[in-house]
Each structure stands twice: as C-alpha cells, then as structure tokens.
Amino acid sequence: MCHKKHDLVRASAFRANKNTPQLYKAEETPSVKVLYQTEQFDLADEYNPHISTFIPTKDGIYEITAKVSFRPSKSKSDDSSKNKKDNCKCDYCRKNSCKCDYCKKSHPSKDKKKHPSKEGSVASISINVNGDDLDIVNDFLEKSRPIGLSVTAILKLQAGDRVQVLFSADANGEILAEAPLTNFQAARFPSPM
C-alpha cells in the first residue's frame, strides 16, 4: 500500500487592531509608522505588536491589508472664517473680497464659499516592506472630518521581510483607535513557494 506524504506548511495569518489614538503632526515628520498594539490572532507567531511589524517566517505569496481612520485637527483659520464674511482671495485679480466679474460668477452673493483648493488636505497610507513603500493609497481630507483609508496588496515576501504600515498627511490630526476602521492583517496563500 502506497501512501503519499504531503508536506504540510504551517498556516500564516494575523490580525491586529489599534488600541490607543496616535497623534500626527505633519510639520514634524513626513510619515509615521501606524501602531497596531492589540493582536486578535497570529497563527504562526509572525506579528510583533510591540513594534507593529509583520515578519514572515516562510517565503510565499501574502495578501496584506491595512486600514487607518484619521481625523484632522481643526485649524485656527477654520474657526476665524466662521465669524467673518467671505475673505477668499480672488484667483483672477488677487484681491480679497473684490467685486470683479470673475468673483461675481464664481462666488454668487447668496452662496459665498472659499476656493476649493483651500478647503482640504491629502492623506496617504502605504504598505512598507524593508523600508520601501510597495503600495500606496491617497485620499482627500475635508476640514476636520474623519476619513478612512485602506490599502490591500498581494506581495511575494521572503522569510525575514519586515512589513509595516506608514501614514502621512499634510494636516495635523489623530489616527483613531477604532478596531473596525484601524487594523492590519495578512495571510499567506497556498503556493508551491
């Protein structure tokens, strides 16, 4: 009787969540490593919550997903503009609150608004492997509204690679600690590698 032996490869998958908010100051650093401190599960003991880094022990094809929920800080200019009349700077004549034809068409008196270019910021999340950003997602932030960013990649990883999640924005704010919206996870696909 012939029995085929199958080489069983230990399953690899983990999921971690953020358990405390993380302040982000755009002027201090261009990007920060997102800290995911609470490990929900780790089948092969490959995720280190103390350094928020996934280090696979086997070569293979992995699906990696990271999510961040970010709330930009309310800027001082947002507060002061509420108490003032329209102070937009005209793109055409470069004057504040002018009455030129351009402003009349672009800013009707019943609905005066700031120029859209001054209303928001950009944020991004990336999957970083050994110091290189391999997959990046950018999105637009509106004033002080929270935003959710998510990035997913299927990558060929080598044993010992260091996988982290980086966040950047051109506005100060806070990375929120909400498990459904701020998490990091990976799983290895069955493959001949």
Average pLDDT on 161-186 reads 93
pTM of the model: 0.72
pLDDT by residue (tens digit) across 115-124? 444 456 789 9
Q: Taking the domains of the chain in order of start, what are their residue ranges?
A: 13-76+119-188
Separation CA 112–CA 143 (nearest Å):
17
- Residue 95 tokens, joined: 């004057």
Give the E-state strand segments of 76-146 in sequence order: 120-129, 132-142
SS3 22: strand
The third-level CATH classification (topology) of the domain covering 13-76+119-188 is Jelly Rolls (2.60.120)
pLDDT at 70 over 60: yes
pLDDT by residue (tens digit) across 12-67? 999 999 999 999 998 888 899 999 999 999 999 999 999 999 999 999 999 999 99
Of 163, 191, 170, 182, the closest CA to residue 67 belongs to 182
> Tokens 């490593």 identify what position?
33
Backbone angles phi, psi at 81, to 5 degrees: -70, -20
Instruction: Kindly write down the DSSP assignment for every residue of 35-90, as one continuous string.
Output: P--EEEEETTS-EETTTTEE--SS-EEEEEEEEEEEEEPPPHHHHHHHTS---PBP
